[in-house]
Amino acid sequence: QYLRGAMSSEGKEEDPRNELQRKKVVLSRQLIQLQGQLQMKERAAKSTELTIAEVKGLPKDTNSYRTVGRMFLATPLEEVKEGLREFLEETNKEIEQLKSKKRYLEKQAKQNLDELKQETEPVQTGG
């Protein structure tokens, strides 16, 4: 097997099943990474929603701060609320993009699996 892999890198034609297996591994890794990103964004959106709900009940004269690097900067409450709304809106857009990409990768993975099954079918029935 090691020699076969070395031969393929020297320009000989590679077995299509090996290529499909590699593609399957790459797609699986991409899906796992994407699911992690999606979960992280969904957590951030949920946390922001909860923060917005808490901030809504505060009186307008409440001292509010936002972080700038390592320091806190006094900011009007309405500005803080607007920043939270913008962050939530942007996060929701990113979530939709990630979901779309996930659907695409799942479709690619299914097609790859179908191709792999077609490639291995003749081998299994023939021998």
pLDDT at 75: 94
Predicted confidence at residue 20, as pLDDT, reads 82
The three-state DSSP-derived secondary structure of 61-101 is CCCCEEEECCEEEECCHHHHHHHHHHHHHHHHHHHHHHHHH
pLDDT of residue 3: 40
CA atoms within 13 A on the CB side of 106: 8
pLDDT tens, the chain, 127 aa long = 444 444 445 555 667 778 888 888 999 999 999 999 999 999 999 999 999 999 999 999 999 999 999 999 999 999 999 999 999 999 999 999 999 999 999 999 899 888 888 877 765 555 4
List C-alpha distances in Å: 89 to 28, 77, 83, 113: 29, 18, 10, 36
pLDDT given for residue 5 in this prediction: 46
- Long-range contact pairs involving 39-42 (C-beta distance under 8 Å, separation at least 24): 41/91, 41/94, 41/95, 41/98, 42/95
pTM of the model: 0.74
Q: Please count the residues of the chain.
A: 127
